[in-house]
Amino acid sequence: MSILNFLNEVKDKNSFSLLALIDPDKKNDSRLKDILCRINSSNFNAILVGGSYIEDDLFEKRIKYIKSNTKLPLISFPGSSNQISHQINSMLYLNLISGRNPKYLIDEQVKGAKKINKLDIDTIPTAYILLDGGSCTSVSNISSTSPLNMNDKENVLSHALAGQFMGNKLIYFDCGSGSKFSIKSDLLSYISKEVKIPIIVGGGIKSYNEAVKLSHCGASCVVVGNSLESGEYDI
């Protein structure tokens, strides 16, 4: 079964899918075991693995550890073409359409294409849209792009529709790791009424109840990352 079909099945059964995001960087080495214990004992449906940048060369080692300590499906959430792993057979094939940096619109995609093809990785074309969650985030810094203002609903909608018309299978709205707040409910409701493909939301989500609320506003998948790593996430 493709990962997209899996996520759709979970949504049909539970109204939305809950995804944990793990950044396989050295900053999480000492707490990776605890993070996985919290994930495995909670109601997460899958794990996204990836980050804005990796500071050392132990990426594959951490992927192996994560894979051997959970039964949940792993989905690659690559910050660059260097984060494509033979150990993960599905991935979000991201293009950062909220910015205009060609490196993340097409360059990184081209760099990783042959490796993805060789490894026969199940890819989901995903329009990745950064939103301003009230704080400067690593993904905005690394990509040298500015997030979209959530108060400008029409601009956000135009980007989402462009992502849909370009053939993407998912729209991913991300306020960024450690953001002060998550996507606004009224914005999500507005967008979900116009967009015909599933919506993922992430960034600033600190509780399961908040995830449920966002699903009621139209999110098919909700991603929890930084609050899970820090222990703030309220199950």
Q: What is the CA angle 189-204-27, rounded to 5?
A: 150
The answer as to whether 30 is a domain residue is yes
The answer as to whether 178 is a domain residue is yes
Predicted TM-score (pTM) of the model is 0.96
pLDDT in tens, 108-161: 999 999 999 999 999 999 999 999 999 888 889 899 999 999 999 999 999 999
The answer as to whether 101 is a domain residue is yes
Q: Residue 61 carries which side chain, given as an amino acid letter?
A: K
The answer as to whether 11 is a domain residue is yes
Write down the residue that tokens 């949940």 correspond to. Answer: 72
Domain that holds residue 108: 3-230
Q: Taking residues 61-77, what's their average pLDDT?
A: 96
Can you tell me whether residue 107 is helix, strand or coil? helix
| pLDDT of 33 over the 70 cut | yes
The answer as to whether 129 is a domain residue is yes
Can you give the CATH number for the domain in which 64 is found? 3.20.20.390
Over pLDDT 90: what percentage of the chain? 83
The average confidence (pLDDT) of the chain is 94
Write down the residue that tokens 């990426």 correspond to. Answer: 59
Our count of domains for the chain comes to 1
Give pLDDT, residue 75. Answer: 98
| pLDDT of 100 over the 70 cut | yes
Sequence-distant (6+) residues with CB within 8 A of 159 are 97, 98, 127, 129, 148
Give pLDDT, residue 55. Answer: 66
The answer as to whether 115 is a domain residue is yes
The answer as to whether 235 is a domain residue is no
The answer as to whether 48 is a domain residue is yes
